[in-house]
Amino acid sequence: MLNTDPTHTHTYDTHGKMTCCSLEEKIYAHAEAQLKTEAHQDGDGHDHEHSAEAAWRRQHLPVMVSLMLLLTAIVLDNWLKPGWFSGWLRVVWYVAAYLPVALPVILEAVGALRKGAFFTEFTLMAVATLGAFFIGEYSEGVAVMIFYAIGELFQQAAVNRAKRNIKALLDVRPDTVTVLRGAKTLTVSPGEVLPGEFIQVRPGEKVALDGTLVSETASFNTAALTGESKPDTKAKGEIVLAGMINLNTVAKVRVTSLFKDSKLSRILELVQDATTRKSKAQLFISRFAKIYTPIVFFLAVAITVLPYFFADSYMFSDWLYRGLVFLVISCPCALVISIPLGYFGGIGLASRHGILFKGSNFLDVMTQINTVVMDKTGTLTKGVFKVKSVDAAPGIEPTKLVQIVAALESKSTHPVAVAVVGFVGKDKTMLPVSAVEEIAGHGIRGKVAGDEVLAGNLKLMQKFGIATPLEIEGIVETFVLIAVNGKYAGCITIADELKDDAKQAVADLHGMGIQTVMLSGDKSSVVQKVAAELDIDRAFGDLLPDGKVDKVQALKSENHRLAFVGDGVNDAPVVAFADAGIAMGGLGSDATIETADIVIQNDQPSKIASAVKIGKLTRRIVWQNIGLAMAVKIAVLALGAGGVATLWEAVFADVGVALLAILNAVRIQKMKV
């Protein structure tokens, strides 16, 4: 199992020297090593199967041999009682049962002692079991070591499970990519492709680099990035990310970033970095174990020695036995193993739901959140403008009007212009356009098929003296006013669509007693309308980035523990200021994703509530393990000091509780959110 530092265990390098690394680093190292090993194996995988079988035998055979010898000895000692099973032969039998499981532990203890680390669980186990042999309690000494070894196997199984999850994540990175260079099609490493180059992705292949789709359309499986298995059909010009799997046709993609800068590479870095940030519970157990273990060791010595000065009839072997029981119980295996595994399981569970926690400490933070502050555009809405209605002036055909406006707007890249062109379709914007002029903060003007056309806001109409209907001022949504040849011609209303799960997201948060607040740079009338539709508690509009920070500061001064959810560059400052910063990772800006503590990969606001639930599930499991371990240990420590508990009870208090805690921690990865 682990030593008294809950974040560290021992491995051996190629020269057989003991090295120290964190449990999480060990998992990643194993996963990476396995990927490299498999890359050099032949296609049928026989080498891998052979090595797996050999590893299984190395791990399980010593335990099986020791257990068989111990059970046989117990039967001979307590039921059959043959005359030959006595004296030196009986001792040799128990030593033979002891050595297969004890030798690795004793070697670990010796290695730790050479480094000046005396108070490790290896030393405790070695001293306790050798002491049991010294006083003739052979079966109990062997049993302690066997159950300890079984605990090791359970821990390794838990590590292997985590390793497989990480391997699956690491394995989504393509090793090669087909790049188009001139008339040649080359297969190269993704790291050799530069932004601006074109790559080809065949059906069934993984996209190797971030880019934009050049082909007319293609469908992709995005599960590696978002956790969603539903195919996502992309149109020409839309963003395609590394890790997506092409489903139906050969796709051509223009690369927009280097391999190391792709969203997939950043996701892998985020998951790996997450394990370096420890939760308060992990840090507490680390400090606790360093103080606790020496104390109980000296208490065990005191239990053995001090009664000599007070007891009427002092029997060294009796009090040594009590001290050994106390020593075995004191080993903090259950705590130092199950807590890191619990948090690692929580991070893994979140990853499978498309949520990346940048550290186990943020799992704890999410359990304390009582207010969620959200941006509007791109967080609760799709961030894509759509034409909602076309209202033409009397005598003007709406279809003809919108075609004229779309022809003019096709010369602009403004999001509103893109929405109008998208509503009509590019093939219907072929009217002749000339003398185009964009007027900043107002709109656009130009000639369309010989007519003078204005398209913009109310300020544009006022600038050119165009009279508009009074009801225009009552429109809440974004709108485009149109004038043709100096006369008002109509109004196109444009709105940002709510995300499909936005209302459910707010309802889920309210169901957990969490307040919701919306901050946006959009005009207040639009913000209040969206807030009313979603049943958000409080909403503020017309905010610049510093205004959002001021609002968050005001909320924090009211003792709110808050998470802020955003996606734009302007959200980065307030994301950093919140107790938990959450970024929308699909459409979110790089700055916001880098600043955030938690990243939602599929941009679904409903995942905010899932993040809170996962944090609470993880905390519940971790504290269940802490409570179970401490309660059992305290009870059996008292019984052991009083001479009531035997080494068998001590085995349960140590290894038995550790096994239960490990199983409980592993359970997180199978839980439903």
**Rounded CA separation 544/541 (Å):** 9
Residue 35 burial (C-beta neighbours within 10 Å; 0-12, 13-18, 19+)? middle
Q: Which amino acid is at 291?
A: I
Three state DSSP letters for 323-349: HHHHHHHHCCHHHHHHHHHHHHHHHHH
**Rounded CA separation 206/551 (Å):** 43
Q: Where are the beta strands (DSSP E) in 249-380?
A: 251-255, 355-357, 371-375
CB 402 within 8 A of CB 548: no
Provide the Cα torsion 356, 362, 367, 368; round to 10°: -140
**Rounded CA separation 607/142 (Å):** 50
The dihedrals phi and psi of 592, each to the nearest 5 degrees, come to -70, -40
**Rounded CA separation 672/525 (Å):** 39
Q: How many CB atoms lie within 10 A of CB 392?
A: 17
Q: Which amino acid is at 192?
A: E
Which residues are registered as beta bridge partners of 433?
448
178 Cβ partners below 8 Å, 6+ apart?
A: 185, 186, 187, 199, 200, 201, 202
Residue 69 burial (C-beta neighbours within 10 Å; 0-12, 13-18, 19+)? buried
Tell me which long-range contacts 454-463 makes (C-beta under 8 A, separation of at least 24). 454/481, 454/482, 454/483, 454/484, 455/405, 455/408, 455/409, 455/480, 455/481, 455/482, 456/480, 456/481, 457/481, 461/488, 463/439
Query: For the chain, how long is the longest CA-to-CA vector?
Result: 119
The whole-angstrom distance between residue 648's C-alpha and the CA centroid of its chain comes to 40
Query: Does residue 442 sit in helix, strand or coil?
Result: coil
One of 364, 375, 496, 567 is an active-site residue; which one? 375
From the list 78, 622, 16, 569, the residue with the least C-alpha distance to 338 is 622
Alpha helices in 43-137 (DSSP H): 46-75, 87-114, 121-134
Which residue's entry shows tokens 């302690």? 144
**Rounded CA separation 431/411 (Å):** 12
From the list 551, 560, 556, 514, the residue with the least C-alpha distance to 536 is 514
Q: How many CB atoms lie within 10 A of CB 164?
A: 14
**Rounded CA separation 642/637 (Å):** 9
CB 221 within 8 A of CB 184: no
Look up 375 and say whether it is catalytic: yes
Q: Where are the beta strands (DSSP E) in 440-532?
A: 443-448, 451-456, 478-484, 487-498, 515-519
Whether the CA torsion 117, 121, 122, 123 is positive or negative: it is positive
Looking at the annotation, which residues are catalytic? 375
